[in-house]
Structure 1
Amino acid sequence: MNTPDTLLRVQDLTVTFATPRGSVRAVDGLGFAVRRGETLGIVGESGSGKSVTSLAVMGLHTGASVSGSVMLDGRELTGLAERELNRLRGRKMAMIFQDPLSSLHPYYTVGEQIAEHHRVHYGSGRRAARARAVEALAEVGIPEPRRRARDHPHQFSGGMRQRVMIAMALACEPDLLIADEPTTALDVTVQAQILELIARIQEERQLAVIMITHDLGVVARVAHEVLVMYGGRAVEQADVDTLFAAPAHPYTRALLDSLPRLDDDGDEPLRAITGSPPSLLTPPPGCAFAPRCSQLTGAAAEKRTRCESERPALDGPAGHPAACHFPTYEGVNS
């Protein structure tokens, strides 16, 4: 729903890649909204379309067909000229990529890279841009920022490189931050520090955040709303408390069941989701999750036929739609 404080609104987003084996629809009819000062968590297994969605919002896809509407602060981004998108990237919206080492240039110091970012968008002089780079490094908690600004990326630890990426993303004070797996490969202590850092800056600036992750623990900690993706589509949307307390889609429930629990016995095996995600080259005609759905084990033939042949729409109670023919709300099968 579009409200006055909605910063980003995505409707019917579709991203298709042409391959030698045929077209791959990596994102199929996706829609969501992000409000100022809030975090939308996008979760799902690898290949579900999370990162493809984020790149589409940023306008970074090359060689892909992108359709649908991406509205940032009332401005349509789909189809916008590259020159106009370049003015918005960094200034109005910014992104933290998965691997900070490969996202930072090894030849230039981190201070030079942040300063260049500031010069491009504000036209500031070199001295002012360098001062802003030092200030940005200090804001993200890097000790001795003036000295560390002269260091190269390889001289930082993984957690510190991630802080540098956050400093670069926020140096021009954007309204929207997309964090694509920002805590991947970090230990638990550093992960907590990075999440706390993003939350602090979000509160200070009323920043809208999209947190892309496969880690439901991260989602529970930082998100206000959650979008669950599977096979390039949204299968469930809800506020974080509702989703964790009463998941309506079997896939969401399976993701939650696969988490380790404190009340399990020490020898209790983790609950895996059987099977594999669907091929996006030849997607199934019905529900993409049907071959892996535990609800269909021993189900009546009529129910199984419907799930395997009829594609479910994202529908249901206001604020908690699910793309399932037989969703479960509050423990009651509908």
Structure 2
Amino acid sequence: MTSRHSIPPQGRQPLLSVSDLTVRFATRNGPVRAVDALSFDVHRGRTLGIVGESGSGKSVTSMAVMGLHTTAEVTGSIRLDGQELTGLTERELGRLRGRRMAMIFQDPLSSLHPYYPVGEQIAEHHRVHFGSRRAVARRRAVEMLAEVGIPEPERRVDEYPHQFSGGMRQRVMIAMALACEPELLIADEPTTALDVTVQAQILELIARLQRERGLAVVLITHDLGVVARVAHEVLVMYGGRAVEEASVDALFATPAHPYTRGLLDSLPRLDDTDDAPLRAILGSPPSLLTPAPGCAFAPRCDRAAAASAGERLRCETEQPLLGGPAGHPAACHLPSYEGATP
């Protein structure tokens, strides 16, 4: 028996394979490279947590996978079950969205149309992709509301978004995303606006539906506590680049990159008995308009500040590449694979 956080068997083809993804936006002050040479894989039945501060490129990455950037330059390769998505037309992508890949957005209230009942909005996806009759699509909407745990789905299918609580609206968004049985689900900060109890319920719901359906899930979040609860693998992003990749167990036990260590140190710990304040990462995320020549994290890095003059100069002038032990690479000139589980 393998643990929930075990690495998938070697040789399995990933459902989603992203290679050398770069996303550039043209701005008045010059081009901004919001995502830079990013690569990762997601397998069926697995959850990849992509974590980092605001501005690290997480949501830009998810939007690129869904083909939702209309003004950005997107290069690299995005393959869904072997099919290349980069370069597809809007019509071709439209056939895939909802049917083979779906997305849950951060704010369900702004994502749901206020003038239409929630059941009508769920049913519309089914009609578009399967050409089903209205009665069939409505039954599917009721089934999905029941599956995501909304009580009295036959009645609530005709209610409007404002008649649902925040947690229930997020459940409606999950029902809408899964109505057409997609293989890939991207959840972009799905619990940010929810209280702790409802957050736990939504995360468990996503995990249960993944187990039952064999979904590949990409979970976008700034919260490593959320990652620890549901993810199998983790990709840490900073300044638009990947800085560390590992299984959840390896990342929490031995964080290699000082940025990952800083994120973990900012989490409250159950074994803390000295009432010490949580440690914050000082400084601000880097400018993507004028990126530094070396490691983007160097100005905020305690490890670089304590290093020798030669090592510090390298951090400031030479961009680190992902490297290190197989299955746990880090983009750091001064990585550390020693540490204790938080």
Shorter-chain TM-score range = over 0.9
Match in the other structure for 1:204: 212
Choose the corresponding residue for 2:180, options 172, 175, 183: 172
Structure 2 gap segments, 5+ residues each = 1-7
1:47-70 deviations in Å (ceiling 9; x for gaps)? 000000000000000100000000
1:275 aligns with 2:290: no
Match of 2:3 in 1: none
1:66-97 CA distance string (max 9 Å, x none) = 00000000100000111110000000000000
1:157 aligns with 2:161: no
How far 1:263 sits from its partner (Å)? 2.8
Matched, 1:221 2:229: yes
The partner residue of 1:36 within 39, 44, 47 is 44
1:5 deviates by 4.0
Q: Does 1:264 align with 2:272?
A: yes
How far is the alpha carbon of 1:6 from its aligned partner? 1.1
User: Residue 30 of structure 1 aligns to which amino acid in structure 2?
Assistant: L
Question: Which residue type is aligned with residue 162 of structure 2?
Answer: H
Give the drift of 1:297: 2.3
Give, in angstroms, the shift of residue 262 of structure 1.
2.3
Q: Which residue of 2 aligns with 1:239?
A: 247
1:53 aligns with 2:26: no
Which of 293, 297, 311 is matched with 2:305 structurally? 297
The residue that corresponds to 1:311 in the other structure is 319
Q: Is the 8 A contact 2:47 2:219 kept in 1?
A: yes
Residue type of the alignment partner of 2:139 = A
Over aligned residue pairs, what C-alpha RMSD do you find?
1.2
Stretches (4+) displaced over 3 A: none
Aligned to 1:100: 108
Helix, strand or coil for the counterpart of 1:106?
coil
Letter in structure 1 aligned against 2:111: S
String of CA shifts for 1:110-152, please: whole Å, max 9, x gaps: 0000011110000000110111011110110000001101000
Cα-to-partner distance string for 1:126-182 (whole Å, 9 max, x where unaligned): 110111011110110000001101000000000000000000000000000000000
Percent of aligned pairs sharing the same letter: 79
Q: Deviations over 1:231-259 (max 9, x none)?
A: 00000000000000001111001110111
Read off the aligned partner of 1:72 and give its amino acid letter: L
- Are the aligned partners of 2:304 and 2:334 in contact in 1 as well (CA < 8 Å)? no
Aligned CA distance change for structure 1 residues 82 and 3 (closer, same or farther; 3 Å) = farther
Distance 1:32 1:82 in 2: 24
Under a length normalisation based on structure 2, what TM-score does the superposition of the two structures give? 0.95
Residue of 250, 253, 256 corresponding to 2:258: 250
Say if 2:70 is the partner of 1:74. no
Report deviation, 1:266. 6.0
Relative to the length of structure 1, the TM-score reads: 0.97
AA paired with 2:307? A
Q: Can you give the 5+ residue segments of structure 1 that lack an aligned partner in the other structure?
A: none
Q: Structure 1 residue 116 and structure 2 residue 119: aligned? A: no
Change (3 A) 1:300 1:266: closer
Distance in 1 between the 2:201 and 2:270 partners?
A: 23
- How far apart in 2 are the matches of 1:263 and 1:174? 40
Distance 1:298 1:108 in 2: 58
Give 1:4 deviation, angstroms: 2.8
How many residues of Structure 1 are paired with residues of Structure 2 in the alignment? 331
CA deviations 1:184-220 (Å, max 9, x no partner) are 1111111111111111110111000001101111100
Q: Distance in 2 between matches of 1:4 and 1:253?
A: 31
